[in-house]
């Protein structure tokens, strides 16, 4: 079997986030499903991890949330990353309780999967045999991931039907506040400045990107924020482009790239 397969682009179907993912589940495949907004890692046909540039990763959620100090995370990467057992190391070393790791991992998995499975006309690719350095934590059936993805899309549309809020820079409006704004939404609103996107705000808060979308759509429905519409132009030079994350069978190369990116961000 070829180490890489590709899914042909087509009209995105709201009722089927990824037929390719369903096929991989049926064949109990192991590897990485790469789409234009993220990557899902499978083992024996179940989703074991997910990553997306649109949402904070499990490292950010653990360290920002206070469950783990930053140096503890990097120690786990150094000690167990090459063996793809970072999650197990965090628990065995006593740095993170097993239950806390599972909850944080599930939150990060569902969050990233929501973006990775967004409708697209870009072809997906699957690399057989690839595994993630986080290692086994708690696998999730594909049908559960797809069902939750659809539930989240429907929830967002019920709150506020304009999906541009999810990706465009957001600006506060001059609309007066008729009712008290919940504290959680106030923290989000304070970061809306006409330049930051929902992803920027989630990264700044170290919070689930999907829950940040929920807060922003509620603020939009209340008339407190609005998406900054792109200027009409024939030029595409200002459009941002999301690239597929690099996936490699060599864990040492993957770790070095991640460490490099982290150092460059300091």
Q: Per residue in 43-85, pLDDT tens?
A: 999 999 999 999 999 988 888 877 888 898 999 999 999 999 9
Strand partners, 32: 41, 127
- What are the tens digits of pLDDT across the range 175-227? 877 778 999 999 999 999 999 999 999 999 988 999 999 999 999 999 999 99
Question: Which of 241, 262, 258, 239 has the alpha carbon at shortest distance from 250?
Answer: 258
Contact 138, 42 (CB under 8 A): no
**Distance from the Cα of residue 60 to its chain's centroid:** 12
Contact 129, 30 (CB under 8 A): yes
Containing 184, the helix (H) or strand (E) segment is helix 183-189
What is the model's pTM? 0.79
Is the confidence at residue 136, as pLDDT, over 70? yes
| Best-predicted range by mean pLDDT (34-43, 60-69, 240-249) | 34-43
Q: Return the DSSP state at 195.
A: S
Residues 6 or more apart in contact with residue 25 via CB below 8 angstroms = 42, 45, 46, 141, 142, 143
Give the number of C-alpha atoms closer than 13 A to the C-alpha of residue 212, restricted to the C-beta side.
Answer: 30
pLDDT, residue 61, reads 87
């Amino acid at each position: 079997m070829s180490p890489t397969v590709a899914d042909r682009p087509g009209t995105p179907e709201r009722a089927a986030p990824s037929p390719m993912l369903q096929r991989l589940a049926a064949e109990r495949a192991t590897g990485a499903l790469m789409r234009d907004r993220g990557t899902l890692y499978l083992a024996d046909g179940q989703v074991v991890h997910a990553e997306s540039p649109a949402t904070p990763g499990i490292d950010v959620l653990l360290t920002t949330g206070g469950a783990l100090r930053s140096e503890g995370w990097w120690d786990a990467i150094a000690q167990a990353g090459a063996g793809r057992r970072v999650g197990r190391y965090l628990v065995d070393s006593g740095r993170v309780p097993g239950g806390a790791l599972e909850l944080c991992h599930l939150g990060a998995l569902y969050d990233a999967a929501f973006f990775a499975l967004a409708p697209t006309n870009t072809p997906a690719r699957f690399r057989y045999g690839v595994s993630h350095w986080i290692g086994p934590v708690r696998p999730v059936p594909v049908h559960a991931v797809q069902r939750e993805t659809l539930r989240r899309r429907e929830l967002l549309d019920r709150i506020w039907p304009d999906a541009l809020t999810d990706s465009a820079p957001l600006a506060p409006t001059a609309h007066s506040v008729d009712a008290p704004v919940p504290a959680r939404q106030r923290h989000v609103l304070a970061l809306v400045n006409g330049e930051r996107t929902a992803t920027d705000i989630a990264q700044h808060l170290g919070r689930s990107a999907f829950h940040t979308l929920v807060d922003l759509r509620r603020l939009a429905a209340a008339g407190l924020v609005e998406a900054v519409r792109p200027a009409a132009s024939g030029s595409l030079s200002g459009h941002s482009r999301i690239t597929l994350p690099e996936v490699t069978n060599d864990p040492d190369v993957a770790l070095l790239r991640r460490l490099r990116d982290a150092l460059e961000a300091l």
